[in-house]
Structures are given as C-alpha cells and as structure tokens.
Amino acid sequence: MSTFKRVALTAFWIAIACGAAICLGAIASSRGEHINSMWLVLAAICSYLIGYRFYGKFIAARVMALNDERATPAERLENGHDYVVTNKWIVFGQHFAAIAGPGPLVGPVLAAQFGYLPGTLWIIIGAVFGGAVQDFVILFASVRRDGKSLGQIAREEVGKVGGIVALITVLLIMIILLAVVSLVVVNALAGSPWGTFTIFATMPIAVLMGLYLRYWRPGKVLECSALGVVLTVGSVFGGQWIAGSVLGPVFTLSAIAIAVAIIIYGFLASALPVWLLLAPRGYLSTFVKLGVIVMLAIGILAVRPELQMPAFTRFVDGTGPVFAGKIFPFCFITIACGAVSGFHALISSGTTPKMLARETHIWPVGYGCMLLESFVAVMATIAACVMDPGVYFAVNAPAGVVGRTAQAAVTTISGWGFPVTADQMASMARSVGEVTLFSRTGGAPSFALGMAHIFARGGGGDIVLGFWYHFAIMFEALFILTILDAGTRVGRFMLQDLLGQVWKPLGRTGWMPGVIGMSAAIVGAWGYFLIQGVRDPLGGVNSLWPLFGIANQLLAGIALSVATTILLKMHGPKFMWITCGPLAWLVLVTFSAGWQKIFSPLPALGFLAQANQLEDSLNAGSITGAAIAQTNALIFNARLDAAVCGVFMILVAIVLIDSLRLWYGILRGTQERTVVESPFVISRLTGEEA
Amino acid sequence: MPKQLVNKERRVALFRMARNFAAGIAELLGEISDQNAYARHLAAQGATHSPEEWRRFSDERFRMKYQQVKCC
C-alpha cells in the first residue's frame, strides 16, 4: 500500500472514531431539548465500524487466527444439502434472516420507559463487546468442529453436564419465548377487527401458497412468495373495509379469544404437514421481514425524525409502569436480543457454519450480522421515542397501573410529567383505525405507531397512517406466528427426543399418537403461560418479558462459558477476557435480575411478594365471590414464575460451576488443554469459487 | 485521457456495480427461497425438474429446516 493510501486510510478511521465520540457525546450530554434521531443512527454506525474494523479484526487475526488455507466443513463435507460452499454475502443474508426475530423490535420499545439513552448505549456497547463476540466465537468454534451444535460443543469441551443442561435450558426458554411473543400478538390484536382480519387472512394465504407450490407450480418459490406478498398487502387494505362492515364484530375478539385461537393455531401448525402451512408462511415472513427492515432504515434516513422522549425518565428508579425494576439490571434484561442473544449461539452452531466457504468469512457473518441486528434495535428505539412520551406511556402502561378509563389513564400519566389528553389519544386511535390505543401493552402497537408515523411523514400524511399502522402490526404478528409454529414443532421434536429415551414409541416422529401428544404438551406448556399473561392485571408483559430476558441472557451465559473454555484451551489465560468480560457482566445482570424477580419485597417486582400480598388480601377477607378463584390462580402463577426463574438460575449456575472447575484445572495445569477440533485439511477452493 | 472516455469508463464501472448488486440480491432471494438449493439438488442427483422431484426435495429440505430453532 502506498504511503498516501495509508495516510488517507488512517485519516478516515480517525474521522470515524471522532464521529463516534462526537455522536455518543451528543446523545449522552443532551438534556431538556429534543435531539434528532440521526445522532443515534450516526453514533451506532460509527461505533459499529470501529468495533468491526478493529476489535473484530483483532479477534479474527490474533485470537482465532482465521486461516483461509484451512478447508471449512462446507468444502470438506459438501453434500449438496446442508453442507454447501456458499457466497459470503449470501450466508450473511441467510444468517441475518435467521437471527432477526421480534426480540430486537420489542425489547428496545419496552426499555424506552427509561428514556432513549440507557437503551441506546447498551444496544451499541453490548453488541460490539458482547453479542457480536459471542456469535463470532461460537460460529468459529462450530466451523472448526464440522458444524456441531452448541450442545455438542458444550459436551465435548466442558463436559456431559454442560451439554444436557444446555438442551434442557433451550427447551424451557423456548416455552417462555413462545408464550411471551404470543402475548405480544394478543395485546396487539385484542379488540382490533382490522388487525385480526389481516392476520387471520395470512393463514388461508399460506395454505394457498402451500398448495400452489406443491401441486400447481412446484419449485416456483419466488413466484409463489410474490403472490403471497401481494395477497397479504391486499389483506391489510381489505382489513379496513372488513372492520367497517357487518363482519367487523366477527373479527372484534377479546384477548382470551385471540389467545385460544393462537393456541389452536400452534397445535395445528405443529401437527399438520410442513409444506401446507409452516414452510409457505416461513418464506412469506422472511421476505416481508427483510423488506420492512430495509424500508424502516430508508424511512428513518429520509425523514430524520426528532426524538420526543427525554434521555432519562423518572422511571430509572424502578417505578416504571411498563415493567417494574430499576435501570440496573432491568434495562439490560429487557433489551435482550438487541445487544446479546443466547439464541444466536444456536443459529451460529446450526446451519450457518455448514455454508461458509472460507474461515475469514466468519468475521463478517458472525460479528457483522450481530451489529446489523443491533442496528435494527436502534431503529426500534427511534420508532418508540419519536412518539410523545405521554402517548408512549398511554399505549404501553397496563390498565391495572394507570386506570381503566381514558380519563383516569391520562390523569395518571400527565401526573408523572408526561402530558397527554383523552382527545389526543382518541384522535390518534381514529387516525389508525382503532377504537382505543390505551394499554395496548407488549411493545408491538407502540412500535407500529412509531413506524407508521415515520412512513406517513415520508409521504401520504395522516391518510396513510392507518394502513402503515396495520401493515406494521401484520409484519410483527406474521413473523411472531412463524416463530410460534416452527418453535412448537421444534419443541415437539426435542420433547420426543427426550421422552423417547424413556419409552421408544414416543421418540418416533411418524407415530401419530406421539406427534399429537407431544404437540399438545408443548402447546399446553406455552399456552398456560400465555393465558396467565392475558389474565394478569398488570398486563402479563411485566412478568413474562423479564422472565424471557433473564432466560435468553442466561443462555448467552452458557454460550460465553463454552467460548471462554475454548479460548482458554487455545491460548491459556491470555485472551479469555474477550468472552469472560461479557460473561461476568451477564452473570451479574441476570442473577441480580433473577434474584429480584423472585425475592424482591415489592409486589410489583417480586413474584413471591406478589403472591404473599394476594394471599394476605384473601386471608383478610377483602376478596370475595368469583374473585377468590381468580386470586388463587394468580397466587399459583406468581409462585410458578418464581420457580421457573429459580430453575433457570440453577441450571446456568451448574454450567458455570462446571466451567469454573475446568478453568481452574487448566490454569493450575491439572487438566489437559486439548482442543477438540477437526483435523486440518488444506483448502482447494480458488478465489473464484469462494 | 480525454474527459469523455473517463466519463464512459465511470458509467461502465457504475453499471457493472449495479449489475453485480442486482445479481447478489437475486442470488440471496434464490437462496432464501430454496430455489438455489433445489438447483443444486437437481445437479447433484443428475435429475430434471418435475413435480415429484420437487416434492421429494422439499419434503427432505423442510424436515431438516424445521428441526432447527428459530431466533427470537
């Protein structure tokens, strides 16, 4: 490289670093005035560039010593099915489509109750130093081990206990995940005929697509998906007409009715042939998801909206209406997948390692995709914070906190220092074609409102607000339901796998009684938590989302333990800080959040305190009649949530103790430092092929 | 070099970049939609496209795909 080029490049990176520092400084020091969302966008992009170019490269070159001369599993084991040498950017797109779920959209919206600053900083810093590193190291570990799964790697590198615990943890997390994402859909669709019709319409559309692909135009997936997208957008238009027609009341369903419908859907999707419903929905959802993320990025860049939410709100003290708990640890727990996601470790040790052509591709795919996911979370924060804070809290605060009437809610919220009026809320509800927007908890409606405002300002104004709001709801519900149906099916396989050890026929995936029984067991498990969330007077999100966040971050803890073990075996203690740092932070955050959720004396926060308070009311005779049975159910549920949270913590503590035992042995020299990698085979791929 | 020629070279380079970008997007869509995987399957099996072949391929593909967890 010529001296001029080197100087120019150095100047460029200095400019990017200064850009990151200036933008982060601006968003961190701005108080009492609205700032433009571009500060957040630029702070994120500059930080990602620096993190990717320097920290990512350091890990790639010095720690992992990625070597393009070493053949990857895709090359060595190529079979045309799962092991396939694939272009770097195609794997990037595939991996991103696989890791991008509703978490980075919902979590940051909920965490906006603390203000825009804490969430944004954690999304950026957490992704650069934690989430991206976890995905990167696990992807590397899997590539070096023939594309093995996290459970298998844990079993080989840490021990048998780690592998089994990882499997059980994944199953439990999935049950909570499916319940909480279903709750998000229920809260978005309850009492909304337009939204409900649109989502119901996607089911016959998916079946039509399935038949089209199977019998009419086999193999024409793109053609079929294009047809599906057109029909789905048509159903968003049609929903407005349906809502105003005689069919309106048919699609105006209560939260319980929608929850039951989703449970039935989950069961059917798990038991029906995949080609009929799951696969076409999967295609449709992936295309819509990627399209909307690109549209949102373009919308934010084009409109450059101002943030209405302050940097910090008064709720950093833990008295927030959206969910209880102080900024530490609950901001980090709530953001979850936007910064660090344990689930990504499962994807990074699933399909992706079997497709990479060269080892150096692990860097953009493993590290880069997580940065992009983090950027999606920043966009979600922006969508939540462009609304008036009063409107944000009116939408996200449960009726059990702010009051059941519009007047009570606006009085409470305005009393917190976030002015909002009943007329303002009524007019906003009218403009998006809803009856009310009060207490639409779960994050999806407020994200949809923010997104609709950004798109409407981009063109069309208030006339298109209703369309974009319901388009956003359709987009979120569509890919949440895709997670639900696929998750139920995967959960069924896992359960069959586990129980097949006890009684062989249960393990056979083609044995119908087993299929129906196991599907019912999985649906029953997440369905129970869903109904519990729907009946919760605090909206369900208050208890279920933190439970999901804790579980997800604990899974990340398992992944980072495995990653640390591998780094320790590779280099000794020299580089273990890379994964041990984020691991220590996550252990601190998750265990303190878990402890507070179980043992906090505040009934709004602690499950046991909540159960005790309800029990005291029962014993004092202040609850009578039909409310007694309901209160008993609430007491049981609070104790169940405490038990589930406790089980998660114990499971992860087992893995941590097992890992610490191993690390201590390695550091003292009493344990072998053998890394279980597949043998080195020289790559025969030419530049063209890779 | 004459200015006109430089402009033409730039236009060609831009066109090539746009074409590569479009090809990349098409490739990604083909991969996400499993159409590329199907083409690879046909090539590997030495088979030609038919409704039965697609059904055989997709049954196996979906069986593998829906045993993997989906991310949150």
pLDDT tens, residue by residue, A21-37: 999 999 988 887 899 99
pLDDT band at residue A630 using 50, 70 and 90 as cut-offs: confident
Q: Which of A55-69, A191-205, A429-443, A622-636 bottoms out in mean pLDDT, i.e. has the lowest? A: A622-636
Task: List A306's β-bridge partners, or say none.
Answer: A36
Question: What ranges in A422-540 are assigned the alpha helix state H?
Answer: 422-431, 444-458, 465-499, 512-535
Mean pLDDT, residues B57-66? 87
Q: What is the CA radius of gyration of chain A?
A: 25
Residues of B with Cβ-Cβ distance to A100 under 8 angstroms:
71
Residues of B with Cβ-Cβ distance to A336 under 8 angstroms:
72
- Cβ contact A490–B70 (<8 Å): yes
Contact, A361 vs A94, CB < 8 A?
no
pLDDT at B7: 83
CA distance A150 to A162: 10
Amino acid identity for residue A58 in this structure: F
For residue A690, is pLDDT > 70? no
CA distance A412 to A426: 17
- Cβ contact A350–B70 (<8 Å): no
B68 vs A81, A274, A350: nearest CB: A350
pTM of this prediction? 0.93
Contact, A422 vs A406, CB < 8 A?
yes
pLDDT at A308: 96
pLDDT at A261: 96
Residue A1: both structure tokens together: 């490289």
Task: List A453's β-bridge partners, or say none.
Answer: none
- 3-state SS assignment for residue A480: helix
Residues 22-41 of B with CB under 8 A from A: 24, 27-35, 37-38, 40-41
pLDDT tens, residue by residue, A560-612: 999 999 999 999 999 999 999 999 999 999 999 999 999 999 999 999 999 99
Q: Where is pLDDT greater, at A21 or A269?
A: A21
Amino acid identity for residue A207 in this structure: V
Dihedral sign of CA atoms A656, A657, A658, A664 in order: positive
A493 vs B41, B67, B71: nearest CB: B67
pLDDT at A687: 63
Mean pLDDT, residues A243-268? 94
- 3-state SS assignment for residue A306: strand
Residue A676, exposed/middle/buried by CB under 10 A (0-12, 13-18, 19+)? middle
CB atoms within 10 A of CB A234: 13
Mean pLDDT, residues A428-445? 94
pLDDT tens, residue by residue, A304-313: 999 999 999 9
Residues of A with Cβ-Cβ distance to B67 under 8 angstroms:
490, 493
- Cβ contact B49–A278 (<8 Å): no
- Cβ contact A347–B71 (<8 Å): yes
CA distance B31 to B37: 7
Residue A512: both structure tokens together: 């119908």
Phi, psi of A36 (to 5 degrees): -80, 145
Residue A648: both structure tokens together: 């998660």
Bin B16: left if φ > 0, else alpha if -120 < ψ < 50, else beta: alpha
- Cβ contact A86–B44 (<8 Å): no
Nearest CA in chain A to B31: A90
- Cβ contact A219–B35 (<8 Å): yes
